[in-house]
Amino acid sequence: MSEAECKQEDSEGTQRWFVLRVQSNREERVRASLEKLLELEKVKDRVPEILVPTEAITELRGGKRQVVQRKLYPGYIFVQVEVDERGNIPQDLWHCIRETSGVGDFIGAEKPWPMRDQEVAHMLGRAEEIEEEAPKLDIGLKEGELVQIREGPFKSVEGYIEEVNPASGKVKIIITIFNRATPVEMEYWQVQPI
């Protein structure tokens, strides 16, 4: 794409948020490529923000707890773009964004639909909330599920999950001991679904 196609316009427009469909599991690479192209074409100031919202979760990998970033909207990135007086993305910016490797298309039928103000507030507010929160555990178990205990004094005993606590990483399981239903609290990684 030539500089002539992506030249910066003299008029200053307002900015709106749009959703871009991108290749799944390549959101960060697409964001970096888009930022690089906008910088090269000297139009970066017209696209001030590109977001890939994520949240921190704690997973058990290889017997150790690790904090990993999980994408809130896999296959999508959010772009704040300058728009003209009619609310449309100028053609030069539209072509710059669309020509980026890994970009599918904007969300919208015939033309890109801008996000509504309440959607933007929710997305930006949610991103700020997540940054302040402690990482969540990705337990992957749900109440009522039949599980088998993998470790400890009740190894190989089966029971039903009564309660899941993602904050502490513990699950309460109802097992049968001497023909009585007995609640037992375990670490989530000590049980496995059957």
Q: Per-residue pLDDT tens, the chain, 194 aa: give them.
A: 444 444 333 344 588 999 999 998 899 999 999 999 999 989 889 999 999 988 888 777 776 778 888 888 899 999 999 998 888 888 888 888 888 889 888 888 678 888 888 888 887 776 555 455 555 666 788 899 999 999 888 899 999 999 988 877 889 999 998 889 999 998 888 898 98
Q: How many helices (H) and strands (E) does the chain have?
A: 3, 12
C-alpha dihedral sign at 31, 107, 22, 121: positive
pLDDT at residue 184, rounded to an integer: 92
* β-sheet with 170-177: strand ranges across: 180-187, 170-177, 158-165, 146-149, 191-193
Fold of 146-193: SH3 type barrels. (2.30.30)
DSSP 8-state class, residue 110: S
Question: CA Rg, the chain, in Å?
Answer: 24
In words, the CATH class of domain 14-137 is alpha beta
pLDDT for the residue numbered 153: 85
Residue of 136, 185, 137 whose CA lies nearest to 162: 185
Q: Where are the domains of the chain?
A: 14-137, 146-193
| CB proximity list for 79: less than 8 A, separation 6 or greater | 17, 18, 19, 20, 34, 47, 49, 50, 51, 97
pTM over the 0.75 mark? no
- What contacts 33, CB < 8 A, 6 or more positions away? 100, 101, 102
